[in-house]
């Protein structure tokens, strides 16, 4: 393989969790560290790609040569990604996007009222599916999804691949990989499966990027 197999290609990557506000001081998020997505961004830049990384709230340094856009909520991530997607050849969605957000983000902090014992109920609404929306564009980039499942990994990941109309989905061969520096991955496409053996996330990211480069 050429040393810079992605030269001249533009890659768009989402990474990290999203943060869904309840009020100015509270919100709903998850344990995604963003490490896998940032490793993929670094590997793609090393491979010569022009990389845009849309990141939720994470504590990670921007990889060299990568253009980073910081967002908080799923809606902000959606609004950042959608206009950029048509100008990219590849879209890799590693972000752990919240499926639901509080229906209202209150302007003022919710107060515990003296003498009132009732806890508030937080109504939730569905967030847009960023990956499915990009994959449904008239001329979509090559779309890669990630799947973290607690059971029936390959089966659920393949169902997700078909539902979101993706050429490739990458399943985390758990257990929980959040925050860890290593992982093992299962690549699933229409032709079948290929496992990337347990390794640090940067090694896996480089293998994944080489695999994607061959598909373009």
DSSP readout, 122-183?
--EEEPP-HHHHHHTSSS--EEEEEE--SSSHHHHHHHHHHHTT-SEEEEE-SS--TT-SEE
Placement of tokens 């902000």 in the chain: 76
State which of residues 39, 53, 71, 74 lies at the interface with ligand C5P (CB under 6 A): 74
- Looking at the chain, the number of H-run helices and the number of E-run strands are 5, 12
In the numeric block, which tokens belong to residue 171? 């399943």
State which of residues 145, 171, 201, 213 lies at the interface with ligand C5P (CB under 6 A): 145
Interacting residues with ligand C5P between 7 and 46 (CB under 6 A): 14
Phi and psi of 83, rounded to 5°? -70, -25
> Residues 160-199 vs ligand C5P: string with x where CB under 6 A?
x---------------------------------------
Rounded to a whole number of angstroms, the CA Rg of the chain reads: 18
State which of residues 13, 90, 95, 187 lies at the interface with ligand C5P (CB under 6 A): 95
Annotated binding site for CTP: 99, 109, 128-131, 146, 160, 164
For residue 199, CA distances in Å to 14, 62, 115, 203, 212 come to: 21, 22, 55, 6, 18
Q: How far is the CB of 143 from ligand C5P (least distance, A)?
A: 9
> Residues 114-133 vs ligand C5P: string with x where CB under 6 A?
-------------x-xxx--
Q: Does 157 sit near ligand C5P (CB under 6 A)?
A: no
30 is catalytic: yes
Residues lying near ligand C5P in the complex (CB under 6 A)? 14, 74, 93-95, 97, 127, 129-131, 145-147, 160
Catalytic residue numbers?
Answer: 30
């Amino acid at each position: 393989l050429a040393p810079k197999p992605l030269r001249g290609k533009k890659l768009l990557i989402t990474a990290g969790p999203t943060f869904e506000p309840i009020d100015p001081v509270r919100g709903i998020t998850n344990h995604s560290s963003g490490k896998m997505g940032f490793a993929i961004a670094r590997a793609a830049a090393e491979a010569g790609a022009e990389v845009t990384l849309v990141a939720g709230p994470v504590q990670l340094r921007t990889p060299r040569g990568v253009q980073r856009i910081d967002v908080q909520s799923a809606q902000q991530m959606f609004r950042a990604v959608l206009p950029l997607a048509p100008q990219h050849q590849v879209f890799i969605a590693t972000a752990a996007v919240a499926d639901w957000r509080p229906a209202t983000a209150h302007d003022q902090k919710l107060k515990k009222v003296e003498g009132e014992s009732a806890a508030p109920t937080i109504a939730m609404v569905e967030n847009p599916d960023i990956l499915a929306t990009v994959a449904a564009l008239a001329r979509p980039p090559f779309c890669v999804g990630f799947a973290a499942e607690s059971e029936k990994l390959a089966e659920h990941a393949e169902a997700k691949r078909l539902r979101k109309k993706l050429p490739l989905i990458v399943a985390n061969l758990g257990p929980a990989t959040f925050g860890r520096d290593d992982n093992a991955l299962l690549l699933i496409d229409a032709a079948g499966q290929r496992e990337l053996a347990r390794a640090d996330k940067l090694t896996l990211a480089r293998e994944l990027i080489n695999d994607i480069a061959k598909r373009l």
